[in-house]
Structures are given as structure tokens and as C-alpha cells.
Amino acid sequence: MNVSERLENNLMQADTSSSILKLAIHAVGGQGGGVLSNWVADLAELGGYDAQVTSVAGVAQRTGATIYYVEMAPKSGAKAVFALSPTPGDVDVLIASELMEAGRALQRGFVTPDRTTMIASSHRILAVSEKQTPGDGRGDSAEVRGSLVSGAKDLICFDMEKLALENGSVISSSLFGGLARSKALPFPAELYEEVIRKSGKGVEASLQSFRAVLNFDEAAPVTRPEKAMPKAEGPRQLLSEWAGLERRVADLPETVQAMAHAGLRKVVDYQDLAYGAEYLDHLNTVLAADSDVPNHALTDVAAKYIANAMCYDDIIRVADLKTRGTRSTRLRQEQQIPESGIVQVTEYFHPRTEELISILPAGVGRQADGSPWMQKILGMVAGNGKRLRTDKLSGFLMLWLAAGLRPMRRRLLRHATEATHLGRLMDTALTAAKTDCALGVEVFKCQRLIKGYSDTHARGHSKFDKVLSGLASLSGRSDAADWLRRLREAALQDENGEALEGALKTIQSFTDT
């Protein structure tokens, strides 16, 4: 090899790392992170770059998002050497499919203020840790966004999920639009569109979503169109009865009507029109005792929590929701499955013995509740739970028959138990409101503690009882409503109730001194 050949060879082996662009994509399952990373690689190839795509799998937000990593460099005589995964402080562009994923990327050091362009959708997908909190466990989105503003060199962050859905596409196409909008890569928007066209799947919807993000005006005021209330449909007799219930809502104070109408629709959907009339009867009882004129705060809050108490979760409700036609439609839409596509749905159905007892007629249920041998038989029926294929007739029929118990619900043990609880809630709230309307409001809000089913429901009732046990110590205090609110918030802080126990000890000290 002569001198000139050796010089040319040395130049070909020169360091090309300074020309390598490094892009990381953090996406949770089902959001098309793989599609997006492949689009970025195709974009690089069309633009005259070499590119490499790798991924480090996660399991949704349980162990973190899947990280797709793309490195690219201009094609030249020198072959670039690409890394397999991103390194903190060494990322040019980071794309996050959800706000908290952007925050996690910042925490891990992938985003730096001197180098990284951050592209993130501002919508939220709640993490498991956020859902586990009995109260509002959501992270502070504003705080995360503020950290991104100061932590990234450039930030593009708005609701790209919404724009994708509005255009019949998925978030990968709108995030691709965010990348084009950032101009962090040396490629024109037309090249991005060519990549989408060559993909051959959902091209028009993807292009519309891409352009919606590319042309989005972040300074424009956000307008949320009011959702039109769905029109009631059905037999003439039932529609006439429904109209009568709506007239009763119209007779309520104006400040109460919106919540009362929402509550009415909820309880009628849950059970029937007669149940809706019962709901309005309860509401009128509260209104007669409401001294907060003209706001009627007691009745307004009661309209929400009485409806929630009347619409408890049971086996019948679960079966009803799982066999509705609207659920099948929603599943297809979420998974983007066409009507011609074959769908297999497996339902995990594992009621406890107590839940089976609760759907027995009240008298029989009470007998079973005190009979070990009856509980043993029901336990054998429940077994270790069942996996029901509701795309098959046998599995669907089992749930459909369970949902068919709805007309009998008022005669079952669970309804008797929940009716007793609702009576206690109303009596306690109205008694408190006689001397302190604000305290009555806080009592009604304690219904928030009770939710779900099985162990979650049992824990909720236990916390409800403990919170109301503090009322005796608060009697006659001018700040009673505030203290009851603190007790409720303490009960919502943790599953084990440690914060609530501490708050109750503080309340108890009032009577000890």
C-alpha cells in the first residue's frame, strides 16, 4: 500500500462520532413506538444517512417504557460505529409518548439543557403507582412541565394524543409530526410525508395527524366543545316516564340541576326508571333540610354522592358492562381492529364467596353468611376464578345470565346492605346539617371513601366508619367541617390507614384535654 492509499484509508477510519445524531423514543405498550422508530430510520435512509435502530423492552409503566434508540450519520466513505443504547447526557432528540415518561427521561439524565430537543405529548396515562393511591394519586403535571422547560434545550409539548384521535390515527403519527415541527433533524417536512406514504398502512389518517401537529398553534386558546347529551330512545311508555323524571329535575333549584340530571342518568342506566324516581325522592329529602339558600350546597353535593351510593359495584353490574355492545365497539376502536377482523376476548372473572352470597335473596344470603357449609359449597363454585371467552357463545351466555339478575337486584342481600348504608349516610349528614350545613356537606363527601368491590370495597367501608367515628369529638366545634375534611383526606392518603389513625388521635386529644 503506497502513501496516498494509506492516507485515504486513515481518513476513512477517522472519528465520525461528532456527526452522529442520537434520538431516543420512550413509549408505553400499544403506542406504536416501534413504528415511529422505523419511520425515523426510513427518514434517515431517504435523507442520505446511515441509521441503526435498537430497543430496550419495558412492560408498559410497571417497569418503565420501552426505549427505542436511533443513531444516524451522513453516508460517507467512513463507516460510522453506532451504539446500542442511549447514554445520559448524550442524546440530541428525545421523544416521549406521555408527559410523565418525559419526566422520567429527564430524571435519568437523557435530557440536557445544552443539547437535547424534547418532544412530548402533554396527555397523561396514569402509572400503576398513581392508581394504587386511594385518593388522588396523580403526579403534578405542571411541575413536570416546568422541569422540562428548564431541563431541555428546546421543548415541544402539547396534547398530541388528542390530535391523533381527532384525525383517526394513533400517537406515533402525531409524534412524527412533532419531530418535523422541531426541525431537530436536517430533513424537510416533505420527506417525512414520503416516509408515511411508503409505510402503506393508514396513510391518509397518519398524514392528517402529522400535519395537524406540524401546523398546530400553541398560542391559540383551547376550546372544549360541549358534549351533546345523548337523546333517550325506547318504547313510548318508558320515554314518557323518563320525561316525567326530567321535569322533576327541572323543578329543583338551578344550582342543583346539572348534578341532579347527571345523577339521574347514572342511576337509571344502572337499574331502571323506578330507581331514578327513588333517587329524586332522596334528593328532595335533602333539599327540604338544606339551609344554604340560594346555593343549596348540601343538595348539590348530595346529588353526586347519593347517586354513587346507589350505583354500587356488584357481580350483576360487572357482567352487564362486559356484555354491552358498546364495549365491543370500544375494544375494536382502541385496538384499531376493523369490523371484518376476528377478535378473541378473555374475561377474568373471580368473585369471592362473599360476593356470591351477596347476590342471593336477602333471607337466604343472611343464612348463608352464617353457615360454614353453605360458604364451603359457594367457595367450590367460585373455585380459583374463571376465564370466560366472551367471543364464544358459552362464555358470553354465562355473563349475560348474570347481568339478567338486574330486575331482581332490590331483593338481594347486597342491595339490602347498601340501602342500609345509604340510609345511615343520609341520616348522619342531615343530622349534622341541622346545626352546621358545611359539616353535612363534608359527611356526604365521605362516600368518596367507598369504591370498587371485593377487598377494596371492604377497606373503604372500614375507613368510612372510622372517619365518622370522629364526629362525636367534633360536635359543637366551629371548625368541625374542616376537621372532618382532614380526616377524610387522611383516609385517602394510604391503603393501610396509618395517616387516618394519626388524625383520629389528634381529634381524640380534643376530648382528653
Secondary structure letter of residue 168 according to DSSP:
T
Closest CA to 303 of 317, 318, 290, 321: 290
Please state, in angstroms and rounded to a whole number, the distance separating the CA atoms of residues 23 and 117: 9
> What pLDDT, on a 0 to 100 scale, did the predictor assign at position 3?
38
Q: Where are the alpha helices (DSSP H) in 47-201?
A: 99-107, 128-132, 141-151, 160-166, 171-182, 189-199
Kind and range of the H or E run holding 369: helix 362-369
390 burial via Cβ count (<10 Å: 0-12, 13-18, 19+): buried
Single-letter amino acid, residue 54: T
pTM, full prediction: 0.73
Q: Grid coordinates representing 340?
A: 371484518
Per-residue confidence (pLDDT) for residue 413, from 0 to 100:
94
d(CA 56, CA 235): 56
CB 121 within 8 A of CB 65: no
Q: Which three cell numbers stand for residue 490?
A: 387522611
**Could you tell me the three cell numbers for 223?**
376550546
Q: How far is CA 226 from the centre of its chain?
A: 21
pLDDT in tens, 155-202: 999 999 999 989 988 889 999 999 999 999 999 999 999 999 998 878
Fold adopted by 20-214: Pyruvate-ferredoxin Oxidoreductase; domain 3 (3.40.920)
Nearest to 93, CA basis, from 120, 125, 54: 120
Place of cell 426505549: 67
Sign of CA dihedral 283, 288, 291, 294: positive
End-to-end CA distance of the chain: 98
Q: What is the DSSP string of 325-339?
A: HHHHHHHHHHHT--T
CA 487 to chain centre: 26
One DSSP character per residue, 98-134 reads SHHHHHHHHHTT---TTTPEEEEE------HHHHHSS
Q: What is the pLDDT of residue 10?
A: 43
Tell me the β-bridge partners of 361. 412
CA distances from 193 to 23, 164, 173, 303 (A): 19, 15, 10, 51
The full DSSP string for 407-464 is: GGGGGBHHHHHHHHHHHHHHHHHHHHHHH-HHHHHHHHHGGGG--SSHHHHHHHHHHH
Per-residue confidence (pLDDT) for residue 115, from 0 to 100: 94
DSSP state of 387: E
Give the cell for residue 432.
Answer: 349534622
C-alpha cell at 512: 382528653
Could you tell me whether strands 49-56 and 66-74 are parallel, antiparallel, or unpaired per DSSP bridges? antiparallel
**Positions in the chain short of pLDDT 70:** 1-18, 29-32, 58-64, 126-137, 139, 221-228, 334-336, 382-383, 385, 511-513
The pLDDT of residue 186: 93
Distance of alpha carbon 119 from alpha carbon 122, whole angstroms: 10
* CB within 8 Å of 312: residues ≥ 6 apart: 414, 418, 457
Neighbour order of strands in the sheet with 21-27: 49-56, 66-74, 21-27, 93-96, 117-121, 154-158
In the chain, domain spans:
20-214, 231-311, 315-414, 441-513
Would strands 49-56 and 154-158 be described as parallel, antiparallel, or unpaired? Answer: unpaired
Q: What is the pLDDT of residue 137?
A: 65
**Grid cell 329524586 — which residue?**
280
Q: What is the pLDDT of residue 224?
A: 56
Q: What does DSSP assign to residue 284?
A: H
Q: pLDDT tens-digit profile of 322-340? A: 998 888 887 777 666 777 7
Q: Give 495's contacts (C-beta < 8 A, 6+ positions apart).
A: 132, 134, 459
Q: What are the residues facing 49 on neighbouring strands?
A: 74
CB 71 within 8 A of CB 92: no
- Spatial separation of the C-alpha atoms in residues 25 and 100, rounded to whole Å: 13
Q: Using CA of residue 220, residue 221, residue 224, residue 225, what is the dihedral sign?
A: negative
